[in-house]
């Protein structure tokens, strides 16, 4: 029996998940077909019921459904509760279980591709949505000494700080003098906003005039395009830069292991993702 898997989202025309996940299934000789499931909100319930059928392995979940799927899950991994979002669903004998692989994917990319150990370091996080929540949980668990949050809508950053409930977390007013000072001193800056993403946001940047600390690392979670305006301007300002593709592949590899119980062929997945981005 051919099994099915896929990614749930609202607009997936720029998603490459189907490319590298299918490459992983094919590399291991698994009879699985990975689909891009674009769903309107009113279709989500029926689709979640479909994921409980015997031929379904599960699904990835992307914007805007990482929170919306939570009521349909029979079981949630503790990390899902901590982050407040699920990006991976596994069909466990007809019951749906939710996982969050964004945290592990981000930390692996940060350490292996960014050559940055966040323990006892400060970090500035831009954004307060689902991706920002995963990054914040990851950085706090990895031992940052201080996590600064900034979002265009201050109330969302305040709500995230309250949810994290950690004395190491502080909120900065967007583009305030204190924000500029922190940006110029932080060894790690993470963009978890959609600014720069392929499509209507591609020309945007959250930092119109960036000033970075010497040797600082700028991580842009945007995976498509490979280089965003923010990354280009950060490099010109003297920062090291890391795009979102490694995190995308690593979180996908974690999902693959949840579905199959097998080690993911990460090299195959990354090569397929990079080819898709160049095409």
**Which residue of the set 17, 51, 66, 90 is catalytic?**
66
pTM beyond 0.75: the answer is yes
Show me where the domains of the chain are located: 3-100+248-278, 103-243
Q: What is the pLDDT of residues 100-139, one digit of tens each?
A: 999 999 999 999 999 999 999 999 999 998 889 999 999 9
Half-sphere exposure of 207 (CA within 13 A, CB side): 30
Is residue 46 flagged as an active site residue? no
What is the CB-side half-sphere exposure of residue 271 using CA atoms within 13 A? 7
CB atoms under 10 Å from CB of 38, counted, come to 14
Q: What is the DSSP letter of 33?
A: E
Report how far residue 202's alpha carbon sits from residue 76's, in angstroms, rounded to the nearest whole number.
Answer: 34
Please identify every stretch of the chain with a pLDDT value under 70, giving residue numbers as ranges: none
Coil vs helix vs strand at 172: coil
Distance of CA 98 to the CA centre of its chain: 15
CATH number of 103-243: 3.40.50.720
What pLDDT score was predicted for residue 224?
86
Q: How many distinct helices (H) and strands (E) make up the chain?
A: 10, 12
DSSP string, 189-237: EEE-SSTT-SSTTTT--S-SS----TT-EEEE---SSSS-HHHHHHHHT
| CATH code of the region 3-100+248-278 | 3.40.50.10860
Q: In angstroms, what is the C-alpha Rg of the chain?
A: 18
The token duo for 68 is: 């919306």
Q: Assess contact for 272 and 20: CB atoms under 8 A.
A: yes
Task: Answer whether 3-100+248-278 and 103-243 agree in fold.
Answer: yes
Q: Are 275 and 20 in contact (CB under 8 A)?
A: no
Q: Which of 181, 185, 205, 187 is nearest to 195 (CA)?
A: 205
């Amino acid at each position: 029996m051919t099994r099915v898997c896929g990614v749930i989202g609202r607009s997936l025309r720029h998603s490459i998940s189907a490319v590298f996940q299918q490459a992983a299934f094919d590399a291991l000789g698994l009879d699985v077909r990975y689909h891009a499931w674009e769903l309107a909100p009113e279709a989500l319930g029926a689709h979640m019921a479909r994921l409980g059928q015997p031929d379904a392995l599960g699904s990835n979940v992307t914007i805007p459904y990482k929170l919306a799927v939570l009521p349909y899950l029979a079981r949630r991994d503790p990390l899902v509760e901590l982050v407040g979002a699920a990006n991976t669903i596994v069909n466990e004998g007809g019951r749906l279980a939710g996982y969050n692989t964004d945290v592990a994917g981000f930390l692996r990319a940060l350490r292996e591709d960014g050559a940055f150990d966040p323990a006892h370091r400060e970090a500035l996080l831009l954004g307060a949505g689902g991706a920002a929540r995963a990054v914040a949980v990851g950085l706090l668990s990895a031992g940052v000494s201080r996590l600064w949050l900034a979002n265009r809508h201050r109330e969302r950053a305040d709500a995230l700080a309250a949810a994290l409930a950690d004395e190491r977390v502080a909120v900065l007013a967007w583009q305030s003098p204190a924000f500029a000072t922190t940006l110029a001193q932080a060894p790690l800056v993470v963009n978890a906003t959609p600014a720069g993403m392929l499509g209507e946001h591609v020309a945007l940047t959250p930092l119109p005039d960036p000033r970075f600390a010497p040797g600082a690392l700028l991580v842009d979670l945007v995976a498509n395009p490979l280089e965003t305006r923010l990354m280009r301007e950060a490099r010109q300002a003297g920062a090291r830069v890391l795009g979102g593709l490694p995190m995308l592949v690593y979180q996908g590899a974690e999902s693959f292991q949840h579905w199959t119980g097998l080690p993911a062929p990460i090299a195959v997945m990354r090569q397929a993702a990079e080819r898709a981005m160049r095409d």
